Amino acid sequence: MTASTIAPTSGEILIHGGFDLAAAARFLTGFAPAGRPEAGTEPGALRVAFPVDGAWTPMGAVLRQRSPGVVEAEVHGPAEHTEAALAQVMRMCSLDVDGTEFPAAGRRDPVVSLLQDLHPGLRPVLFASPYEAACWAVLSHRIWMTQAVRLRRRLTDRHGTEVDVGGVRLSSFPAPEELARLEYLPGAPAHKLERLRGIAQAAADGLLDAAALRSMPAAEALKQLQQLPGVGRFSAELILIRGAGHPDVFPRGESRLHEIMREAYHLPDADVGELTEIAEAWAPFRSWASFLFRVEGEARMRESR
């Protein structure tokens, strides 16, 4: 693993709607699929490293929220990629979406309103890119989460790039060019390696471009994503929602979310069609509301252990 050079550049992100960076940082620190390290020495700050979309150059960023309406961003990496990296960080925190009207979803649905009260300012926190989300979908398919996390860590440690992000060294996920050459990863079977190489080629060909995926009708984007190796309905939704950051897709393939909703609405026998109808009231923030259900469901599961 090599270290990238850094050239910090500062900028401001204007926030439209409620947002709490500290809540996003707490979530991402514990979000094992994204490979986040333990919390650093600066409470409330968020540090990330990632290959910037398209160019795939390793970049880093530090985010700090100085006021409710502004996040300061310190970008580390080659100056020619600063603008793209800043846009990517905004997407990772769902700050590229105007969230002013998200509270209206709560006014239409008291269950969502309760979740918004329990998690004020928490927006969906995403993978760094659809490419990384697709790789996670392949790595985690039909194995335990802990196994998938180990595979991702090995992949990043062996083939990624270390970035100095404001004095903290973080590992950036391998670029598609590096992943396309992958022949061996301890613990990963041959079919997963083949699928990872296919995902790398798709990313290099522009088939995992976040803006393009979000510009399509959701059904069309999901259909396109399911043409990728090892990607079914569940994984396609993961890539579109948690990779590209589409704000208004209800995950019909996510059984865990459905279980949480059945409990929340006291509808133990509700099928996916009925749950989809309930979610209509959340538009145009169905992805955001679904995220809050998962966050609260996982929190309650931890409390019950």
User: How far apart (Å, rounded) are the C-alpha atoms in residues 253 and 179?
Assistant: 28
- Domain positions in the chain are 3-100
CA dist., res. 152 & res. 135, Å (int) = 9
Q: Which stretches in the chain have pLDDT values below 50?
A: 1-7, 38-39
Q: Which strand (E) or helix (H) includes residue 65? A: strand 58-67
**Integer angstrom CA distances of residue 181 from 13, 185, 255:** 37, 11, 34
Helices (H), ranges, the chain: 21-29, 82-92, 102-108, 110-118, 130-140, 145-159, 176-179, 190-204, 210-215, 218-225, 233-238, 255-264, 272-279, 286-304
- Is 141 in contact with 230 (CB distance < 8 Å)? yes
The pLDDT of residue 301 is: 76
pLDDT number for residue 6: 46
Q: Which residues pair with 234 in a beta bridge?
A: none
Residue 233 is predicted with a pLDDT of 97
Taking only the tens place, the pLDDT of each residue in 76-120 is 999 999 999 999 999 999 999 999 999 999 999 999 999 999 999
Query: For residue 5, what pLDDT is reported?
Result: 42
pLDDT in tens, 35-53: 655 445 588 899 999 999 9
User: What's the confidence (pLDDT) of residue 34?
Assistant: 67
Q: What's the rounded Cα separation, in Å, for the pair 42 and 20?
A: 15
Q: How far, in Å, CA of 204 to CA of 174, rounded?
A: 13
So what's the pLDDT on residue 137? Answer: 96
For residues 94 and 85, what is the distance between their CA atoms, to the nearest angstrom?
14
Topology of domain 3-100 in CATH is TATA-Binding Protein (3.30.310)
d(CA 29, CA 37): 6
Report how far apart, in Å, the C-alpha atoms of 155 and of each of 70, 134, 159, 199 are.
35, 14, 6, 14
**Contacts of 103-111 spanning 24+ positions with Cβ under 8 A:** 103/18, 105/281, 105/282, 105/283, 105/285, 105/288, 105/289, 108/281, 108/282, 109/278, 109/281, 109/282, 109/289, 111/264, 111/265
**Strand partners for 12:** 72
Contact partners, residue 187, CB within 8 Å, separation at least 6: 147, 150, 151, 154
Alpha carbons 121 and 68: distance in angstroms, whole number? 10
